[in-house]
Amino acid sequence: MIVFRFRIWPAERILSDKMYAYISSIWSYRYFWFSLVQNDLRQRYRGSVLGMGWSLLHPIAMTVILCVVFGSIFQQDYRFFGPFLLAGMAVWNFLTQSITAGCNSFFMAEAYIRQQPIPMAIYPLRTVLGLGFHFLIGMGLVVALSLWFLGWPGIAPILSIAPSMLLIFLFAWSLSCIFGLATVYFRDTRHLSEVGLQILFYLTPVMYPPSVLEGRRLGILLKFNPLSPFLELIRDPLIYQKLPSSETFGVAFALTLIAMVVAYSALKASEKRIIFHL
């Protein structure tokens, strides 16, 4: 029997222990941030006739309109292009809205920050969880449409969706923390991020298949697009009915890990000073 021994260097061990302790402290305040998310959802749909039904109608309406317009442009079968488009829009909207809404996460929580010193990552988490509720609804529609039009992909591709969604959530949370802190110290971050994301949208295969850019100069940009792997994590099992490649999952995991470390380091460095910049 061969026994493999792995050695963890002290610096890495200390970092991992501190991150684990930080996440544990966030979990200890779960009733607090859960109530914040509930209140945000109630406020959003207060007085609305359909209420949370808009979370279903909005993505369906957008998918139908975009499918008709761009499906004819790219000459795609609606049975493929509909789920393809909805999957891309669900992931793209969740990630980009986590960035733009995260820019205001600390300003929205200024009253709480001044009252009690709790982990600052809770406030971007509040934003991402609220958006995650709509992301789950959108993903439910993606699964339903893909099963209806494309059929059953197999148990392995279906099971791969759960870890993929976890990576997407952690990546979105980390980005929300990073951009939220950046906005505290530089107020134009939100406006710059909106412009940058608008440009990135056209360089990300959200509304068009990646094959459209193959063999073209812009095609190489897809390989360096940080959001493309996260779209593939969802599209591969549901649209192409295969497991995400090890390269796709590895790149997404590496990007998520880097974002988490950057977010954690920035939060720990700024937690005691952030109140003076709000």
Asked, for residue 12, whether it belongs to a domain, the answer is no
Q: Model confidence over 14-70: pLDDT tens digits?
A: 456 777 888 889 999 999 999 999 998 888 777 665 666 666 677 777 777 777 777
How far is CA 174 from each of CA 128, 150, 244, rounded to the nearest angstrom?
10, 34, 23
Asked, for residue 4, whether it belongs to a domain, the answer is no
Asked, for residue 30, whether it belongs to a domain, the answer is no
Q: Model confidence over 76-115: pLDDT tens digits?
A: 778 888 899 999 999 999 999 999 999 999 999 999 998 8
How far is CA 64 from each of CA 58, 61, 78, 89, 232, rounded to the nearest angstrom?
10, 5, 9, 12, 22
Amino acid at 183: T
What is the token pair recorded at 193?
């991020």
Q: Helix or strand or coil: residue 135?
A: helix
Containing structural domain, residue 174 = 52-277
- The CA dihedral of 27, 141, 259, 212, to the nearest 10 degrees, is 180
Res. 2: pLDDT tops 50: no
Confidence of residue 11 (pLDDT cuts 50, 70, 90): very low
Asked, for residue 172, whether it belongs to a domain, the answer is yes
Alpha helical stretches, state H, the chain: 10-28, 30-45, 54-73, 78-102, 105-108, 110-115, 122-150, 155-159, 161-185, 189-202, 219-223, 228-238, 246-270
pLDDT at 47: 67
Asked, for residue 204, whether it belongs to a domain, the answer is yes
Q: Model confidence over 200-256: pLDDT tens digits?
A: 998 898 988 887 777 677 767 777 889 999 999 999 999 999 999 999 999 999 999
Asked, for residue 14, whether it belongs to a domain, the answer is no
User: Distance between CA 94 and CA 115 in Å, rounded?
Assistant: 30
Mean pLDDT of 163-184: 97
Asked, for residue 135, whether it belongs to a domain, the answer is yes
Asked, for residue 29, whether it belongs to a domain, the answer is no
How far is CA 110 from each of CA 114, 117, 123, 275, 278, rounded to the nearest angstrom?
6, 11, 10, 8, 7
100 or 276, which is more confident: 100
- Domains held by the chain: number: 1
Q: Output DSSP code: residue 230.
A: H
